[in-house]
Structure 1
Amino acid sequence: MNPPVPKLRLKATPALLYLLVFLVICAVIGSLRLLVGPTGLLWAYLVAQVLFLVLGFFNVRPMRRFLPFAAAGEVWTGVGLTLVLTLLAAVVVGLLPRLAAGREADWGFATAVIPLLIGYFFYLTFDYYLRIPPATYKKWYYPLDDSAPDMDLIDLSRVLVIQFEFPKRPEDTGLTNFKAKAPVAMNLGELFLVFINDYNERNPNGPVVYFDGQQTPYGWLFYKPQAWYKRRRYLDPDRTFQQNGITDNDTIRAERS
């Protein structure tokens, strides 16, 4: 008796599901070719181009989320992946008449997918625009004299619970989340100093790095996370939490610069 042949099972990973959904959307857009006759072909082509342009713009975020190697900030990796996706979309759109209606493949209509690449660059431009800090932003530097605020002089009657988010080391790709108690009358920069000193004292094997290789303190920018379509609102490290408009349970991103 022959041993049973093991069945091959394909595991549906998020990346494969993302790719499948992407190609299905491309096929839906490409189906415009099947809905029109020769007289409406030009309009179908133009509409498909617009739709692929929009898809290229809104595809960047899910691409970065579901394809780990398409990390934000890796521009040329994103360009390469978008180019591969564009070629796959062209194959799907070009072969759709043959697969769905038994007609000849239409590689001319498949060129309507080219705006996918343009949409990617539109998104990058928009993303960089959102990252431009206002002209009055301030950086905070770790004091070289190791000075620290006198907590006895700070009003502790009103305290907020906030969260700091930042990579502990410059080379870290992920953000670490830290909870802290913030007196509303305390300056943001002062609390960040107290937080770093306290954290590094309790975690000597995994401290927050605030000096570069030349032992020069990094400059830090602080901002509140916003929706992806809004510009960042940078915070003033020399102002209190109340003056910065920070409320209970707010998250503050700290970024080395």
Structure 2
Amino acid sequence: MKELKNYFINLFDPQLLIILLFLVAMCIAITIIFSKKVPEFKQYKTNVYIYLFLTVLVYAVIAFLGYSRLFEGETLSEFIFYQICTLTLGVFHCYFYRLFFNKFKLEDDVFKELFFALLIVLYASVPFLLIYTFLNGMYYMPLMMGNFIVFFIPTLVNASFNHSLKIPPKIYTTWQFPENYKELVGVSDEEMRDLVVFTLMIKKEENDKDYTLYRAKGPTRIDFGRLFYNFVEDYNERFADAPIEIQNQDGFYNWVFFKQPKWYESTKYIDPKFTLYMNGIEENSYIICMRTLVSDTAMNSSDQETDFEYSKEKDNERVKTY
């Protein structure tokens, strides 16, 4: 009986009453604000209240489970248990938010989704706070309440993933062998300065699975595209039986080049019109050379009608009017 009395004494801690009053006030305020900011709230009002009631019930059970003998004297293990439960419920919440509420027809409004998650956390924290304090007192309560932070992680991860899908892919300028590249082969003595040794990674044929590595040496002042067709022409002359494939029945392949990054770097595009130096090609760099397809839209982009075309005559007339 005395032990039960001590449990009830925990509930009359002034610190607990202040925190509880603050949480209840926040629950009311956030509910009102959310209902005003979300036009579709009335349509899902019943679902919201049922959802909140179930959340309160589930966290009441979780608080009791944490008091089991399994975690007796193991405060850290108990805290981890609460975190795992909250993270799991956060994952379910991320799914139910779309299943039961249809995201309140807010499309991808991450701010309001996080606001609703905050509303759930506030309501869930009330029974958790009361039951945990009733059973354990106030000493570890601030630490245990910190488990609610992980509730937001699934929502943030999902929002980050969805936004990453909306990032448009990079469009790289492709390069093609000049029709008369054999006539252009050669490097002047003046250009043959500051030589660097690097590795070209090329698939000999379009359908090859693996890249073949070729060690090459070239001056830093020469355009990469020019150096590339010099290398290919030289290699194909010396190994005519197993040349590097540069064209098919439709003509010369289009190529795109990348500098192989280190593990902490991002992939860097190499512009064939720029010199090795300007492309950052240094000693022992690795260059990935890829054949690529060019869409019909890109191929015909020069023939498409433009929204604006500069006219010198119109510009002169415009200046005269001022």
TM-score, length basis structure 1: 0.49
Q: Which is richer in helix?
A: 2
TM-score (norm 2): 0.40
Structure with greater Cα Rg: 2
